[in-house]
Structure 1
Amino acid sequence: MQLLEFEKPIVELENELEKLRAKADSQEIDMSGEISTMEGKLAETRRQIYENLTPWQRVQIARHTQRPFMLDYLAHAFSEFCELHGDRRIGDDLAMPGGFARINGRRVVVVGHQKGRDTKENLKRNFGSANPEGYRKSMRLMKLAEKFKLPVVALIDTPGAYPGIGAEERNIAEAIAHNLREMMLLKVPIVAVVLGEGGSGGALGIGVADRVLMLENAYYSVISPEGCAAILWKHRKHAPEAADAMKLSAPDLLKLGLIDGVVPEPQGGAHHDHKAAAAALHAAVETELAALGKLSEKQLLEARYDKFRQFGEWAEG
């Protein structure tokens, strides 16, 4: 498994604990006291590290290659997923899967970003960076949801929309802008969840929602910490300072009122327990859908409009 720099003290203690257990077994001696002390030290080290994560450390967890991705959550938190393909214009973008599914028996339409864990899968999924046809496909599916009066669940996990020449030629900016407008007017409930990376317009392109949630170690920002550091400090090595200044973590964004809730993760991050992370997401999404289902269409649209109009802080002179 990918080892993050700040997790090294934990791994060292785990290795020491394993050696103690192996010694006790091989030599048939009672080392329960030493083992118990080491277990306590390990538990305390884990607690101290994971309860005091910096924004940059959360970014590293959000990018972990073993972190559950969209299709993992569909397997564990949803059922009866039926994928639909194509934008009916250019083609099918595999970085943006979507289709019909059920959550706790409730029919929904799910759209989102999908990354890969190895080179082959990342090339297939374009590293989770969707092209214009991905955003147009997602809107086609949202319009189907509106037609059949089904809620929409958007699962966000992208470093950003694909910035290649082909994407520009097919008008990636227009595709995202179109989604922003149409999602604001969609007549069914929308719940968006940032699973890992929430990068710039690529994330916002499916992020205009009645409820925006974030996993505990996800991040959501207008630019990556490395990109910000390259602009402001002229070097990517200042990414940790940029991450802290940008207030991109879930706790900071909740405090600023830019998201509506934080979905807890297993200790150390969702990559340590996919099923537990999926169970937490399932509960959070189901709660929000139940609450939104009580609103009339008029109330839903007015509340969504007011929500985004109130973003930001200002002072009158």
Structure 2
Amino acid sequence: MEYLDFEKPIQEIQDQYMNCVLIEKKSGIDMKEICNQLQSKLEKTIKEIHSNLTPWQKVQLSRHPNRPYTLDYIYSITKKDSFIELHGDRHFSDDKAIVGGFGRIEDHTFMLIGTQKGKNTKDRQFRRFGMPNPEGYRKALRLMKLAEKFEKPVITFIDTPGAFPGIEAEERGQGEAIGKNIYEMMSLKVPIIVLIIGEGASGGALGIGVGDKVLMMENSWFSVISPESCSTILWGSRDYKEKSAEALKLTAENMYKLNLIDDVVKEPLGGAHFYPEKAYKLVKKQVIKHYKQLSEINIESILKKRKNKYISIGFFDE
């Protein structure tokens, strides 16, 4: 387990607890009372630290290398061997930064689509750290249209620092691909649930981020720009990233207060990376809950509500 700077007190007590357990196992000496005290102290420390997180600390948690990614959630919340990954955009290539396919959650079949960062250095390079090219968004749209054809609801998982900023991405129409996805998702004739599990940055997130229900994990963020980029634009330096994170109101709590999302998915004590199995169960519970709510509404009403939801964001004159 890797620990962030502000998690160092947790690491120290965790190490003490593990040593206590090891000593008891090797020596046969009864250390249960001491181990129990350390475990209680550990839980108390985790609660104290995680109940007072700053927006920047939540951004750091959203990027934690041990945090579950899209495929972790997909394989954990779907029935065993039910997820069938589909590939390619039928125009250019198969973008590995976006994954998707049909899978069953309980008794319902869904189209599951999401950005995938990668587990190690080689995998992250392979998937471009979860930054899609235009063909990734076109693949996502192809799969959504396939879901619409077979009348299956769509779930999207967002965890991206943004769309890939390379020249080749712009040459192949990055902006057009994202814009078309947003346009098409507004009128997709099946329920859409969006779940932000980590980073939700810029158009990279919006390209698969239009939904009837938009949910955010407790330690995720959603913004038009990252705190570092915002700091660089405003102050010419990344040194003000903490101030930027505060000003951007990018946390799940702030997004919910501003009525920009529909629900916050609580994470296990210490974050999703501490207890991934608990995180999977919480996500599955929320997905089923919101799907059942949507399944009781006819598609015409769903489309009307979806459009009104996004039209009501911000102010404009005609």
* Equivalent residue, structure 1, for 2:49: 49
1:160 positional shift = 0.3
Which of 250, 253, 260 aligns to 2:252? It is: 250
State the 1:12 CA deviation: 1.2
Q: Post-superposition shift, 1:310?
A: 1.5
Among candidates 158, 161, 166, match of residue 159 of structure 1: 161
| Equivalent in the alignment of 1:306 | 308
Other structure's SS at 1:6 match: helix
The aligned amino acid for 1:183 is M
Q: Kindly tell me: are residues 120 and 35 of structure 1, through their superposed partners in 2, closer, same or farther at Cα, counting changes over 3 Å?
A: closer
Query: Which residue number in structure 2 is paired with residue 88 of structure 1?
Result: 90
2:199 maps to 1:168: no
Residue from 231, 234, 241 that aligns with 1:232: 234
How far does the alpha carbon of each residue in 1:86-121 deviate from its partner, in whole angstroms, 9 at most, with x for none? 111101101111111111120111111011121110
SS at match of 2:199: strand
Q: Output the CA distance in 1 between the equivalents of 2:118 and 2:29.
A: 46
RMSD: 1.7
Structure 2 SS opposite 1:97: strand
Residue 211 of structure 1: which of 173, 197, 213 is its match? 213
Q: Shift in Å at residue 132 of structure 1?
A: 0.2
Partner in structure 2 of residue 282 of structure 1: 284
Distance 1:28 1:170, change over 3 A: closer
For residue 74 of structure 2, what is the aligned residue in structure 1?
74
Work out the CA distance in 2 between the residues paired with 1:156 and 1:202. Answer: 9
CA distance in 1, matches of 2:148, 2:173: 25
Letter in 1 for 2:6: F
CA positional deviation for 1:9: 0.7
Structure 2 letter corresponding to 1:12? E
Higher mean displacement: 43-52 or 193-202: 43-52
Shift of 1:27: 6.6
Matched to 1:66, the amino acid is N
TM superposition shift of 1:283: 0.9
Separation in structure 1 between the aligned mates of residue 101 and residue 33 of structure 2, nearest angstrom? 54
**How far apart in 1 are the matches of 2:122 and 2:66?**
15
The SS at the match of 1:272 is: coil
Of 110, 115, 118, the residue aligned with 1:116 is: 118
CA distance in 2, matches of 1:98, 1:7: 34
**Aligned match of 2:39:** 39
Pairwise CA distance, 1:19:
4.2
Deviation at 1:16, TM superposition (A): 3.0
* Cα distance between partner residues in 1 of 2:299 and 2:207: 22
Residue aligning to 1:144: 146
The 10-residue stretch of structure 1 (97-106 or 208-217) with the greater mean CA deviation from structure 2: 97-106
Find the residue that maps to 2:175 and give its secondary structure.
helix
Structure 1 letter corresponding to 2:46 = R
Instruction: Report the 3-state secondary structure (helix = DSSP H, G, I; strand = E; otherwise coil) of the residue aligned with 1:270.
Output: coil
How many equivalent pairs are there? 314
Q: 1:146 to 1:23 in 2, by over 3 A?
A: closer
| Greater Cα offset, 207-216 or 44-53 | 44-53
3-state SS in 2 of match to 1:312: coil
Determine the structure 2 residue equivalent to 1:192: 194
Structure 2 residue runs of 5 or longer lacking an equivalent are none
Residues 3-14 of structure 1: pairs in structure 2 closer than 5 A = 3-14=3-14
Q: Which residue of 1 aligns with 2:264?
A: 262
Q: Secondary structure at the match of 1:284?
A: helix
Offset from partner CA, 1:122-151 (integer Å, 9 cap, x none): 111111000000001111111111111110
Unaligned runs of 5+ in 1: none
How big is the shift at 1:167? 0.2
1:34–1:261 Cα change, 3 Å: same
What residue number does 2:61 align with? 61
SS of 1:133's equivalent in the other structure is: helix
1:223 matched residue in structure 2? 225
Summarize the Cα distance change of 1:185–1:267 in structure 2 as closer, same or farther, 3 Å threshold.
same
